Structure 1
């Protein structure tokens, strides 16, 4: 009888020890809520998987979904309006992540909160956050819509799709394309080894691209700077009064179409064999006296709009519509 009791006691202790030290169950479901402030901040760290971030009219942050099979646990807590959520993963080299591994999580947070997201092999969707958004991932795509204030979306080896962003906006990718629609405010776009497409109402725009084509529909420009290397450029422009525009291309052609009401000064310099085609008023460019190149200066109307275009080894075409 004593042996039986001793055996039962030992088994109970082992079961208790297993309960205390057990890791998160594989693919554990999660459904948690914490209270926060209406103007707080939410920091989310999910190494891999699919994440969706939404807003609602509650002073709470909610997370639902399923954790990565390899997750060792998670942190979800609030302090003075600052909410932190983090999935803890085993120490591994980045290259050892399984392609099918990952958490699948959805977050709701107060609309005026500021959200910060960090991921590695993570695709992210974020919608309707008005307190600011900073989204960083590696090896993942970003989809964003209806974000306001300071917005930063950055990825490596991924695409960015954005609609109706407003405020001070930065979009950046390496080895991926960027597609932006109906943004407003101040916009900065950078891409390496990827195309850029935007139809924007931003008044201030800076675009830098290497090894990619660009298709830009700019509907409300006051300040514009474009730099591109090894890529073609198509731009439709509608400018504000007193607009300042600078465009530089190396190793790529550029087609610029101005609104029919455009009036201002256009100065074009083409070097190292670049040609200039003027479809606005037929004025011919001047050939350089020494070396292959052309230049053109157009004075159209009396508006104080200034356009400077410089190209190396690329053709420039000017048009109106």
Structure 2
């Protein structure tokens, strides 16, 4: 019985696997139709789905090593936080080594406002209609399909994908990509190396900044609206409707500049190009600057 010596070890591993099995979650709490709900998870998955009930329900599985989960607060303000046992400090940083992954399936009233904090937990939000959404993430991807007056997402390396409608949106990443084709009248987009693909409008105010990430932007400008875009080495591809009414100033230090609105000018000596033109009645103001990134300004078909 050459393999008999391994049997105690296998039994220990089997028993250990049972000991660290996740704990099923089944919690409910009454909630106001427009409740503010604070949710945090260190690692695992967070899925938030809106429903037509004045109640918050949490399902899923609680990771081994986590403090027993509760829903705390009043009907108007609720808190759901996954915390490691015996850990203190800001957001339980480093607690992921002390516990296994937790899966949260959270159902909330359709008009609720959300504040979600995750570290390496992917986040999905579906069906919110009317409440604000605020997300802070480190490495987990963020996917949101909602109608919200205010959307604010900050992530380090996780990608951000937004669909639905957001009247005001502020999306910030370091290396994560941003995909947001339906942004409303006030927009702030920032990335270091992530790719940005965004659209929407008509924009009353739009600000966009990238270091090395490429940008594809498509949309219109509201009457009297302003846009400010800058890039270090990332390429910018911008599409505006033929009916655009705005002054347009664009400048590149060494990047290539091409435009369907006006004719760029190049200096006699040295690289770079500039464009100063007026489209339509010139009601708005657009300012674009790049260092070494190429710039394309196109009319939409």
Place the TM-score, normalised by the shorter chain, in its bin.
0.7 to 0.9
Q: Per the alignment, in what secondary structure is the counterpart of residue 97 of structure 1?
A: helix
Specify which of 235, 240, 247 is matched with residue 238 of structure 2.
235
Specify which of 19, 22, 45 is matched with residue 27 of structure 1.
22
Map of 2:136 onto structure 1: 136
**2: CA distance, partners of 1:278 / 1:152:** 32
Q: CA deviation at 1:76?
A: 1.4
Task: Report whether the alignment pairs 1:148 with 2:128.
Answer: no
Structure 2 spans left out of the alignment, 5+ residues: 1-18
**2: CA distance, partners of 1:62 / 1:302:** 53
Q: CA deviation at 1:158?
A: 0.7
Q: CA deviation at 1:172?
A: 1.3
**1: CA distance, partners of 2:228 / 2:74:** 42
RCO higher in structure (CA 8 A, sep ≥6): 2
Contact 1:186 1:202 in 2 (8 A): no
Indicate how the Cα distance of structure 1 residues 225 and 269 shifts in structure 2: closer, same or farther if over 3 A, else same.
Answer: closer
Q: How far does the alpha carbon of each residue in 1:27-46 deviate from its partner, in whole angstroms, 9 at most, with x for none?
A: 11011111121222111121
Indicate how the Cα distance of structure 1 residues 57 and 269 shifts in structure 2: closer, same or farther if over 3 A, else same.
Answer: closer
Task: Report whether the alignment pairs 1:89 with 2:84.
Answer: yes
Map of 1:36 onto structure 2: 31
Specify which of 204, 221, 226 is matched with residue 223 of structure 1.
226
Q: Provide the TM-score with structure 1 as the length reference.
A: 0.75
Q: CA deviation at 1:160?
A: 0.4
Task: Report whether the alignment pairs 1:79 with 2:74.
Answer: yes
CA RMSD of superposed structures (Å): 2.9
Map of 1:241 onto structure 2: none
Q: CA deviation at 1:284?
A: 6.7
Map of 1:192 onto structure 2: 192
Contact 1:163 1:182 in 2 (8 A): yes
**1: CA distance, partners of 2:117 / 2:234:** 31
**2: CA distance, partners of 1:237 / 1:47:** 41
Contact 1:216 1:236 in 2 (8 A): yes
Map of 1:123 onto structure 2: 122
Map of 1:287 onto structure 2: 267
**2: CA distance, partners of 1:40 / 1:96:** 29
Contact 2:171 2:190 in 1 (8 A): yes
Q: How far does the alpha carbon of each residue in 1:215-238 deviate from its partner, in whole angstroms, 9 at most, with x for none?
A: 111234532111111111101013
Map of 1:3 onto structure 2: none
Task: Report whether the alignment pairs 1:65 with 2:54.
Answer: no
Task: Report whether the alignment pairs 1:298 with 2:277.
Answer: yes
The count of residues paired between Structure 1 and Structure 2 equals 274
Contact 1:114 1:131 in 2 (8 A): yes
Q: CA deviation at 1:197?
A: 0.5
Q: Provide the TM-score with structure 2 as the length reference.
A: 0.79
Indicate how the Cα distance of structure 1 residues 26 and 232 shifts in structure 2: closer, same or farther if over 3 A, else same.
Answer: same
Indicate how the Cα distance of structure 1 residues 275 and 148 shifts in structure 2: closer, same or farther if over 3 A, else same.
Answer: closer
**2: CA distance, partners of 1:287 / 1:57:** 62
Structure 1 spans left out of the alignment, 5+ residues: 1-23, 239-258
